[in-house]
Chains A and B, each alone.
Chain A
Amino acid sequence: MSTRLHRGGRLIDRSRPLRFSFDGHPYQGYEGDTLASALLANGQMLVGRSFKYHRPRGFVASGHEEPNGLVNLGAGDRVEPNHRATVTPLKDGMTALSQNRFPSLDIDVGVLNDALGRFLPAGFYYKTFMWPRAFWKHVYEPVIRKSAGLGRVPQGRDPDTYEHFNVHVDVLIAGGGVAGLSAAWAAAQSGQRVLLMEQSPCWGGRAVIDEPEIDGTPASHWVDRTVRALRSMPNVRLRLNAQVSGVFDHGYVLAAEQLEGAGPRQRLWRIRAGKVIAANGAIERPLAFAGNDVPGVMLASAMRDYLVNWGVSIGDRVVVVTNNDDAYRTALAIHRAGLIVPAIVDARPRPDGELVRQARDLGIRIEAGRGIAKVTGRRRVSGVKLCALSGEGSPIEEIFCDAVAMSGGWTPSVHLWSHCGGGLSWDDDRAMFLPDPKRPPRNHNGSPIVLPAGSVVGELRTAAVIGSGARAGAAAVGADAPEILAHDAEEGPFLPVWIMPQGAKTALKRKMWLDFQNDVKVSDVELAAREGFQSVEHAKRYTTLGMATDQGKLSNINGLAVLSNALHVPIPQVGTTTFRPPYTPLTLGTIGGVAKEHLFQPVRRTAIHEWHQRHGATWEPVGLWRRPFAYIRPGEHVHAAMNREVLAVRNGVGLLDASTLGKIVVKGPDAGRFLDMMYTNVMSSLPVGKCRYGLMCTENGFLSDDGVVIRLSEDSWLCHTTTGGADRIHAHMEDWLQTEWHDWKVYVANLTEQWAQIAVAGPRARDVLSKLGGMDLSREALPFMAFAEGKLGGFDARVHRISFSGELSFEVAVPANQGLALWEALMQAGTEWGITPYGTEAMHVLRAEKGYIMIGEETDGTVIPQDLNLGWAVSKKKPDFLGKRAQERSHMAGGHRWKLVGLEPLNRSVLPEGAYVLGHGENANGQRNAEGRVTSTYFSATLDRGIAMALIENGPERMGQVVQVSNKGGQPIEARIVDPVLYDKAGDKLNG
């Protein structure tokens, strides 16, 4: 059983006890504990269940690489799933729940999967749940969803806040161990801006655990001294609890900082760094032996961390199993703490180094050339069976113990080097993938962005680590490296051991875990290789190796080695999977920062917005704009409001806020020529003071936007665009002007927001405007498609005699600051005719009754003007315009296209939106063929029935035919193909 020792623990303050709970049980820890160390101090070794077999799981590590100790942290709206207990500072009152167990951690029914483990190999899901097909939706998926997944999602809104920092630095150093500190020291002397970030709450990395001698003093003294010196320098910033998360192109770096106290909970640093020094260390490798997942088996370095940092012993009798000298430090520390090391099982035939000799001198039994055949015990280690490393695993003897410290050597954390393309090379002697200095990730000027240092370049001895850090720091600023002397125990060579024993048969391999969380074992990787998954990326996905929340930090290298062995190719040839940021998961809150709710994106409001708000408008987002959808009166249903608005326009007069329509002025000697290229029809011939409806296509021929163009003067035109299209069309014009016709004399300005625009529509429209007075708006003075400027009731008005409703209609534009006053004046003037503000939905119904198309409804990026019977607006005479060549292609010029028609449902209902017009037979996927689709469908208050527009194959030639329209979950609906213009075909009202 793990327990707190009476002495020791450099990070805890025993005078400050803290209370916390785990799975409802109250516990006590100390200030300075992590949740993991406090749980272990209370003897809580079992902390979770594995993903697939629900095997009991205990802590295996002490840092971010921990795969097992994941908890639901917090309560209520502050629940955070998958929190690694090993890096969670203990707080008073903290509550945590274990994950992936049902009904409880101690009794878990999912463990049945473990008994059936033989029948649940790699790829089991792919092989099994394929048939019968119908079972997937109703049986397999619900069950898998219930049993899969780790944490629980918080139910409420996150009450915490988050923020972003944007900073520029010359040198960013990731990792505050002795490599990072010496790099910071070396770089800081130059006076350049240095930022040093350490993910844990304390400086010094592993050196302060083992206390080698640095610069003639114990490491912890040197660390304190160096941190103090750096703190005093104005050009240096230091941050603890801040993890460099990812390195991106051209030295862009993200880092996540955990914050304390009031204010934001987490901070995302968005850093532009001239150089990034990756001094983020190495992670110890587990060894693959049977039963290496039993709670009580832990990384040797982690066991030492718990002992030295938090005064926690993992067991009274600890067997150490290793292939290197460093694990001897753990054995020595345990021995010094007064606990028992029954044996050090060393895979090497003749271990010999300073630490080995110390252990031997202390009388610790060393079993050389041996391995562990099997760990006994299920919920807790009860012993280990020794065997010869080179054999098949027949036991020599069983040693009783309650914990096992394992060390398979160290794996450099090359993530930051690799995130944006740094190459790796395999070092055979050290059995490590190391940064290849010839293939660094490069900055915009070709210089390396990342300088790796310390254990990241494979250095494990203090003097080499610190020297490499100092050199990297100096190189980052172009200076000479300071010399920092260090001394630690001399070490013997390490021996790569990928499985233990080396001749193990399948029965043992089925119990050798590679990925503890996802239950990937040596046997699974070998099976994947046998089944043809030779690429490491494929094997990863087939077995789920390295796909757990630790993203392979513990498991990948052992998995690669097993795969390489199974494929009989060397490790470098197998290669690694891709290292992708973030280094550990970021919360969505951190990524979002302050960009939520009203700060998520800007909202564009017209000058009349507040009036709409006060008069019952429900809003429709159009791009960033908010437009009134309908104005709902007290007690009124939205459908009733829409119908009332439609009828008011048809029978009296309505007002629409059309300010959001794009308004782009095109001016200059070549403006006419330019617009003739932009639009499918001719705009250069438009007389001054006249309006013309125009279409814009892409070079691929597809309809992109439409709107009315007005010639304001000899050399200037005003182009209306759709509400959503203004910025896009403005950019489109700029693109062609700047990059293709850069010598044309044209100036383009987007004046959308400068003008408020109000459509006054309906038989009484002229009466209302005449009441304001000041301009002659008679049919003779201002016929349909004419334009006039003048003083209208004291307003500086531009009056367009255009219509999107089919009624007599004027669109009046005034400078935006006069918009609200004009609107109110019109409402006042129109009282006697029952003037009614109408929203976008009524506008849609009105235009659909009239057969007018809407960009985004009738068009979807595959529709050409000719499909919409708008061929009349496509010039045959112009030699060129954007899209002309494309529309000459056979599939656009030929027949069998889906073309615009109206649809009249025989039962007068409203057709479903997006419904298909059913054709004959089935396609290759066994789906009913379609011969068209509904593009717009509404209830027409004017006609008192459903109306629709649709694109149907050869539709205009099939007038009067009855077609079948799909109806999700019901019988198809019959509808007759009709002319899309259902209202005032002759245009008498329009011209009124």
Chain B
Amino acid sequence: MLTLTCPHCGVQADETELLPGGEAHLKRHGPGSSEEEFEGYLFHRQNPKGPHLERWRHAFGCGKWFLAARDTVTMQVFGTYPASLATPTDEIRRRAGVERPGWGFEPGVPGEPEAVE
């Protein structure tokens, strides 16, 4: 059961206090978008084996949404940050890079499937 620190209220929250919200930094494609864009927005997810940027809500706490950078294999959390940020913080990117050399943040682009051993 994961623990994530809510960047809004500072509480190190247990997973039972949190609601998962899937992949972060999706770009919304509304009316006027192509079929491919809309399909990608609605259904295509990176599902990486390695660092994953994901949405969480501190549902049974302060109620705020935030984003987390978590390694899906080792469960290491590189950091959490407010949902209003368009990219993870430099510090989070640095930490993820130390553990997973070559990992870079690119929203909406599926990562290399064999990013990890």
Chain A interface residues toward B at CB < 8 A: 248-250, 252, 272, 420-421, 441-446, 699-700, 731, 734-735, 738-740, 742, 879-880, 884-886, 888-889
Contacts and interface: CB of A to CB of B under 8 A. Distances in A.
A252 B75 contact: no
Nearest to B33: A885
B83 interface: yes
B20 to A, nearest CB: 12
B21 interface: yes
Contacts of A740: 28
B96 to A, nearest CB: 11
A421 B75 contact: yes
Contacts of B4: 444
Contacts of A252: 1, 14
Interface in B63-100: 63-65, 73-77, 83-84, 99
Question: Which of B1, B3, B19, B63 neighbours the largest number of chain A CB atoms within 10 Å of its CB?
Answer: B1
A250 B83 contact: no
A421 B76 CA distance: 12
Given A445-B76, A735-B21, A885 B65 contact: no
A738 B83 contact: yes
A162 B5 CA distance: 31
A249 B2 contact: yes
Contacts of B63: 734
Nearest to A446: B76
A739 B83 contact: yes
B42 interface: yes
Given A249-B1, A250-B3, A738-B83, A421 B31 contact: no
A735 B21 CA distance: 9
A992 B32 CA distance: 44
Contacts of B55: 739
20 contacts: A249-B15, A442-B74, A443-B75, A444-B4, A444-B75, A445-B76, A445-B77, A446-B74, A734-B57, A735-B65, A738-B64, A738-B65, A738-B84, A739-B21, A742-B83, A884-B30, A885-B31, A885-B33, A885-B38, A886-B38
A742 B35 CA distance: 27
B77 A444 contact: yes
B29 interface: yes
B41 to A, nearest CB: 8
B46 to A, nearest CB: 18
Nearest to B21: A735
A879 B30 CA distance: 9
Contacts of A889: 35, 38
Given A248-B1, A885-B38, 16 more contacts: A421-B75, A443-B75, A443-B76, A444-B75, A444-B77, A446-B74, A446-B76, A700-B42, A731-B57, A734-B57, A739-B55, A879-B31, A884-B30, A885-B30, A885-B31, A888-B31
B77 A884 contact: no
B65 A442 contact: no
Interface of B: 1-4, 14-15, 19, 21, 28-33, 35, 38, 42, 55, 57, 59, 63-65, 73-77, 83-84, 99
A249 B75 contact: yes
Contacts of A739: 21, 55, 65, 83-84
Contacts of A443: 75-76
Contacts of B32: 885
B75 A442 contact: yes
Contacts of A445: 76-77
B73 to A, nearest CB: 8
A880 B63 CA distance: 27
Contacts of A249: 1-2, 15, 75
Nearest to B35: A889
Contacts of A441: 75
B38 A444 contact: no
A250 B30 contact: no
A885 B15 CA distance: 34
A739 B21 CA distance: 11
Contacts of B77: 444-445
A421 B29 CA distance: 37
Nearest to A742: B84
Contacts of A420: 75
A249 B1 CA distance: 5
A446 B99 contact: yes
A272 B28 CA distance: 38
A880 B30 contact: yes
A880 B3 contact: no
Nearest to B3: A250
A739 B64 CA distance: 9
A735 B42 CA distance: 16
A891 to B, nearest CB: 12
Contacts of B21: 735, 739
Contacts of B35: 889
A443 B3 CA distance: 9
A19 B55 CA distance: 60
Nearest to A444: B77
A988 B77 CA distance: 63
Contacts of A731: 19, 57, 59
Contacts of A888: 31
A880 B31 CA distance: 6
A880 B28 CA distance: 12
Contacts of B59: 731
Given A734-B63, A739-B65, A886-B42, A444 B1 contact: no
Contacts of A248: 1
A25 B9 CA distance: 64
The 7 closest A-B pairs by CB, nearest first: A252-B1, A446-B76, A738-B65, A442-B74, A739-B83, A742-B84, A444-B77
B7 to A, nearest CB: 12
A250 B77 CA distance: 10
A880 B73 CA distance: 39
B75 A734 contact: no
B97 to A, nearest CB: 13
Nearest to B1: A252
B44 to A, nearest CB: 14
Nearest to A699: B42
A254 to B, nearest CB: 10
Nearest to B38: A885
Nearest to A698: B42
Contacts of B3: 250, 272, 444
A249 B70 CA distance: 12
A931 to B, nearest CB: 28
Nearest to A740: B28
A550 B29 CA distance: 52
A884 B30 CA distance: 7
Nearest to A442: B74
Nearest to B15: A249
Contact of B29 (A250, A272, A446, A885): A885
A739 B77 CA distance: 21
A444 B76 contact: yes
Contacts of A699: 28, 42
Contacts of A442: 74-76
A441 B74 CA distance: 7
Question: Which of A441, A445, A739 neighbours the largest number of chain B CB atoms within 10 Å of its CB?
Answer: A739
Contacts of A446: 74, 76, 99
Nearest to B64: A738
Nearest to B28: A740
A61 B22 CA distance: 47
Nearest to B43: A700
Nearest to B65: A738
A889 B83 CA distance: 30
Contacts of A272: 3, 14
A349 B73 CA distance: 46
A738 B56 CA distance: 12
Nearest to A727: B59
A884 B99 CA distance: 42
A444 B14 CA distance: 12
A732 to B, nearest CB: 11
Nearest to A878: B31
B98 to A, nearest CB: 9
A442 B72 CA distance: 11
